């Protein structure tokens, strides 16, 4: 199996590092406000929104024996794609910055 990193960052995994491919998959994300639901008790209220995923750019078609590492929004925008993986169980440094991932996640059911 081949891993292609479609993020702009190197992905540090237990077995090694997957360098960026130079191609970055991106998705346009908007939001629809849900006026009937808000969290009260903060400064005024915090509205809830539902993400609206738009077009995905720079995402190759599925290829046999290839998985693509993408961002979570890209994976969520493509629910029918089973070849898109996201970094999971993130490792952080002492300042909270992401420095790696312990695994890669398949799309949620």
Residue spans per domain, the chain: 2-28+54-105
- Please state, rounded to an integer, the average pLDDT across all residues of the chain: 89
Task: Determine the average pLDDT of the residues in 20-30.
Answer: 95
Is it the case that residue 101 has pLDDT exceeding 80? yes
What are the structure tokens assigned to 43, written together? 């400064």
DSSP letter string, 7-44: SSS-EEETTEEE-B-S---EEEEEEEEEEEEEEEEESE
- Note if the pTM is more than 0.85: no
pLDDT of residue 55: 93
pLDDT of residue 49: 78
Q: pLDDT per residue over 41-87, tens digit each?
A: 555 566 777 888 899 999 999 999 999 999 999 999 999 999 999 99
pLDDT of residue 9: 92
pLDDT of residue 26: 97
Is it the case that residue 109 has pLDDT exceeding 90? no
What are the structure tokens assigned to 70, written together? 């993408």
pLDDT of residue 34: 73
């Amino acid at each position: 199996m081949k891993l292609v990193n479609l993020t702009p960052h190197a992905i540090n995994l237990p077995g090694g590092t997957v360098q960026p491919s130079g191609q970055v998959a991106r998705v346009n994300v908007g939001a629809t406000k849900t006026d009937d639901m808000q969290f009260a008790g903060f400064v005024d209220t915090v509205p809830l929104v539902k993400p609206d995923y738009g077009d995905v750019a720079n995402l190759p078609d599925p290829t046999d024996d290839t998985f693509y590492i993408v961002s979570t929004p890209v994976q969520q925008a493509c629910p029918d794609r089973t070849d898109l993986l996201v970094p999971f169980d993130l490792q952080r440094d002492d300042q909270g910055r992401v420095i790696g991932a312990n695994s890669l996640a398949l799309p949620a059911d």
